[in-house]
Amino acid sequence: MATAVHVSAVSVPAASSLEDIQTACASSEAILGPLMAIGNNRTDTVLTFDTGKRPPDDETVIQQTVGGTPIAPPGLTLVCSGHAFVTGQLTMLAGFAKPRG
* pLDDT for res 64: 95
Number of H-type helices and E-type strands within the chain: 1, 6
Q: Are strands 77-86 and 7-13 parallel, antiparallel or unpaired?
A: unpaired
Size (the chain), residues: 101
Q: How far is CA 42 from the centre of its chain?
A: 17
Angle at 35 between CA 75 and CA 16, to 5 degrees: 100
User: pLDDT tens across 32-67, in order?
Assistant: 999 999 999 999 999 999 999 999 999 999 999 988
Q: Roughly how many angstroms between the first and final C-alpha of the chain, as a whole number? A: 24
User: pLDDT tens across 73-101, in order?
Assistant: 999 999 999 999 999 999 999 999 998 76
The average confidence (pLDDT) of the chain is: 94
Q: Which of 90, 32, 25, 28 is nearest to 62 (CA)?
A: 25
Contact 56, 34 (CB under 8 A): yes
